[in-house]
């Protein structure tokens, strides 16, 4: 197929003097160099229109296709025929008189025409780029709109951040988080001191110091982590939810470290002999269809005693896998910190295939990073492990909202959440509560969400935030959740 010179019609000059040299080579070896001159006035040449000039062998030469600017400004190809209308099909080969023809522009007019052609091509590329950009913006706008309209009560900022991470902007979101991070202030004391938790219950009958079904021994008062005397009420456990008259959930408050003494972290102790746990799916993580509900349903509400967030996103950020209802959504990774729920609703925490492993009693496995507390001691890499161990968002040394979960030596389950926490200070809080194996869960104010409830047999229970700086509402999980979470329900 012959090439064309495209765009001559865009030339702004009224008259352009074109100088060409047509070089022909026939299959019989005849060749001729034909100078051609033609006046072109603001138009393209029509197919078959003659150009002046002569061929040593065949006389007058005509152009079969229209003359316009090619994508190569220096050289173009044309299909020619002789004066007796015998065609010279360019590149056809084999027939008597076939030729290869090239047309070269020469002189200032040729250079002007080339410049005009380049300008035309630039304009076309810009129009095409603009059209593509508009289309891209429309598609992005529709996609972002869908994300903002997604079910649930996540904040706009949280939905935009999650959309960005799901559409190739993970590095940008991480960079923005790092650039906008401001270390929390140090020193001082909590405003108003340490208040008694909302919803504290006066338990007149103390639990017996034995095993199921009478309940586990209650937790003991914790030593402050500030290297200073305890504030009134600091480290003291308070019962906030009961099952069969026994304290099923108890909460306490601690300042996180010697520097951030004006901040308070919350700790929630759960008795697995009175309460059973369940991993609840989110619409995004893990997504799909499940028997378990993605929110607190009317059927779940009467037995609800506590809820809290699960781990990092399953898009690779968690460094681990997800298993539930006999389905593996993300493959489980050896050595990853794993929160395992058994069929009976009790929890275990450990390194996968070292402390915990798959078996017929396993109901769900949620992995996140590596163990933060192991053998009752905080992982020594909590300040140095980097993104490979503690995630790539903002770094293990940043003091932000964090959460974690662990189990004690007698099987009690402990959740911790609070502001101004580094990975190390989160580990210290878990260890202070007697955790022997523990792991970090989700981070950042939009996702750290520990809540305990007073049950209501006739409707939704009343919820209470675990710590003063918690930003997620107690009503959060009564609507569809985008991320997976844990519900804890009274045993009957």
How far CA 200 is from CA of 68, 180, 219, 242, 247, in Å, comes to 86, 37, 16, 10, 11
pLDDT reading at 363 higher than 90:
yes
| pLDDT for res 283 | 92
Mean pLDDT value of segment 235-243: 97
Position 136 pLDDT exceeds 80: no
In the predicted model, what is the mean pLDDT of the chain?
76
User: At residue 220, does pLDDT exceed 80?
Assistant: yes
pLDDT grade for 315, boundaries at 50, 70 and 90: confident
* Of the candidate ranges 175-179, 289-293, 398-402, the one whose mean pLDDT is the lowest: 175-179
> What mean pLDDT is predicted for residues 210-223?
80
Count other Cβ atoms within 10 Å, centred on residue 380.
Answer: 11
What's the rounded Cα separation, in Å, for the pair 54 and 299?
A: 95
pLDDT of res. 166: 63
Please give the average per-residue pLDDT across 287-316, as a whole number: 95
Residue bearing tokens 């809080």: 429
In this prediction, what percent of the chain has a pLDDT beyond 70? 64
What pLDDT, on a 0 to 100 scale, did the predictor assign at position 17? 37
Separation of alpha carbons 4 and 64, rounded Å: 11
**pLDDT grade, residue 272 (50/70/90)?**
very high
What is the rounded distance in angstroms from the CA atom of residue 432 to the CA atom of residue 223? 7
The mean per-residue pLDDT over the stretch 240-256 comes to 96
Query: For residue 229, what pLDDT is reported?
Result: 95
- Is the predicted pLDDT of residue 89 greater than 50, yes or no? no
3-state secondary structure labels for all residues of the chain: CCCCCCCHHHCCCCCEEEEEEEEEEECCCCEEEEEEEEEECCCCECCCCECCCCECCCECCEECCCECCCCCCCEEECCEECCCCCEECCCCCCCCCCEEEEEEECHHHHHHHHHHHHHHHHHHHHHHHHHHHHHHHHHHHHHHHHHHCCCCCCCHHHHHHHHHHHCCCHHHHHHHHHHHCCCCCCCCCCCCCCCCCCCCCCCCCCCCCCCCCCCCCCCCCCCCCCCCCCCCCCCCCEEEEEECCEEEEEEEEECCCCCCCCCCEEEEEECCCCEEEEEECECCCECCCCCCCCCCCCCCHHHEEEEEECCCCCCCCCCCCEEECCEEEECCCCCCEEEEEECCCCEEEEEECCCECCCCCEEEEEECCCEEEECCEECCCCCCCCHHHHCCCCCCCCCEEEEEEEEECCCCEEEEEEEEECHHHHHHHHHHCCEEEEEEEEECCCCCCCEEEECCCCCCCEEEECCCCCCCCCCHHHCCCCCCEEEEEECC
Q: CA 397 from chain center: how many Å?
A: 22
Residue 29 or residue 383, greater confidence = 383
Taking the C-alpha atoms of residue 421 and residue 469, their distance in angstroms, rounded to an integer, is 12
Among 267, 260, 258, CA closest to 467 = 267
Taking residue 8's Cβ as centre, other Cβ atoms within 10 Å add up to 22
Q: What is the largest CA-CA distance in the chain?
A: 120
Q: Tell me which of 171 and 452 has the higher pLDDT.
A: 452
Distance CA(96)–CA(358), nearest Å, equals 80
Per-residue pLDDT, 111: 54
pLDDT at 146: 61
pLDDT at 375 over 60: yes
Query: For the chain, what is the radius of gyration of the CA atoms?
Result: 37
Specify the pLDDT at position 103: 39
* pLDDT bracket for residue 457 (50, 70, 90): confident
Predicted local distance difference test score (pLDDT) of residue 385:
79
The model's confidence at residue 194, banded by pLDDT at 50, 70 and 90, is very high
What is the pLDDT, as a whole number, of residue 73? 34
Identify whether the C-beta of residue 280 lies closer than 8 Å to the C-beta of residue 484: yes
Average pLDDT over residues 234-260: 97
pLDDT at position 447 is 93
CA pair distance 160, 151, nearest whole angstrom: 14
| pLDDT band (50, 70, 90) for residue 5 | very low
Q: Note the pLDDT tens digit of each residue in 389-412.
A: 887 666 678 999 999 999 999 999
pLDDT confidence of residue 170: 66
| Confidence band for 119, pLDDT divided at 50, 70 and 90 | low
CA 478 – CA 97 distance, rounded (Å):
85
Structure-token pair, residue 425:
């200070």
Q: What is the pLDDT of residue 458?
A: 80
Whole-number pLDDT of residue 474: 95
Mean pLDDT throughout 360-381? 97
Lowest mean pLDDT among 127-141, 184-198, 390-404, 407-421: 127-141
Per-residue pLDDT at 258: 97
Give the model's pLDDT for residue 413: 98
């Amino acid at each position: 197929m012959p090439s064309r010179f495209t765009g001559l019609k865009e030339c702004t000059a009224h008259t352009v003097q074109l100088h060409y040299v047509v070089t022909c080579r026939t299959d019989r070896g005849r060749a001729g160099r034909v100078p051609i001159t033609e006046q072109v006035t603001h138009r393209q040449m029509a197919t078959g229109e003659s150009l002046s000039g002569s061929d040593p062998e065949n006389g007058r030469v005509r152009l079969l296709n229209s003359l316009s600017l090619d994508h190569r400004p220096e050289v173009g190809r044309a299909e020619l025929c002789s004066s007796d209308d015998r065609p010279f099909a360019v590149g056809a080969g084999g027939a008597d008189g076939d030729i290869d023809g090239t047309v070269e522009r020469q002189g200032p007019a040729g250079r002007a025409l080339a410049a005009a052609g380049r300008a035309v091509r630039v304009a076309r590329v810009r129009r095409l780029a603009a059209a593509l950009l508009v289309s891209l913006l429309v598609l992005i706008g529709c996609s972002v709109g869908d994300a903002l309209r997604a079910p649930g009560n996540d904040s706009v900022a949280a939905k935009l951040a999650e959309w960005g991470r799901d559409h190739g902007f993970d590095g940008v979101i991480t960079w923005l988080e790092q650039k906008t991070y401001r270390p929390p202030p140090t020193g001082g004391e909590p405003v108003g001191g340490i208040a008694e938790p909302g919803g504290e219950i006066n338990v007149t009958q103390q639990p017996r110091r034995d095993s199921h079904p009478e309940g586990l021994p209650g937790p003991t008062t914790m030593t402050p982590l500030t290297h200073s005397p305890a504030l009134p009420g600091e480290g003291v456990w308070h019962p906030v939810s009961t099952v069969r008259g026994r304290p099923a959930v108890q909460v306490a408050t601690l300042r996180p470290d010697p520097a951030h003494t004006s901040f308070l972290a919350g700790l929630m102790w759960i008795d697995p002999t009175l309460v059973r746990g369940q991993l609840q799916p989110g619409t995004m993580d893990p997504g799909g269809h499940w028997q378990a509900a993605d929110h607190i349903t009317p059927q779940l509400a009467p037995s609800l005693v506590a809820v809290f967030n699960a781990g990092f996103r399953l898009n690779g950020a968690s460094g681990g896998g997800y298993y539930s209802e006999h389905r593996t959504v993300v493959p489980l990774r050896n050595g990853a910190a794993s929160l395992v729920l058994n069929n009976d609703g009790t929890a275990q925490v450990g390194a996968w295939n070292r402390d915990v492993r798959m078996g017929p009693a396993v109901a769900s496995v949620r992995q996140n990073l590596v163990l933060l507390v192991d053998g009752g001691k905080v992982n020594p890499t909590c300040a140095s492990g980097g993104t490979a161990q503690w995630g790539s968002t903002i770094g293990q040394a940043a003091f932000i909202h964090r959460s974690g979960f662990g189990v004690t030596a007698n099987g009690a389950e402990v959740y911790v959440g609070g502001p101004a926490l580094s990975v190390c200070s989160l580990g210290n809080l878990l260890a202070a509560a007697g955790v022997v194996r523990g792991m970090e869960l989700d981070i950042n104010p939009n996702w750290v969400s520990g809540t305990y409830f007073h049950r209501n047999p006739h409707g939704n229970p009343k919820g209470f935030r675990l710590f003063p700086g918690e930003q997620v509402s107690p009503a959060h999980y009564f609507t569809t959740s985008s991320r997976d979470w844990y519900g804890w329900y009274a045993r009957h």
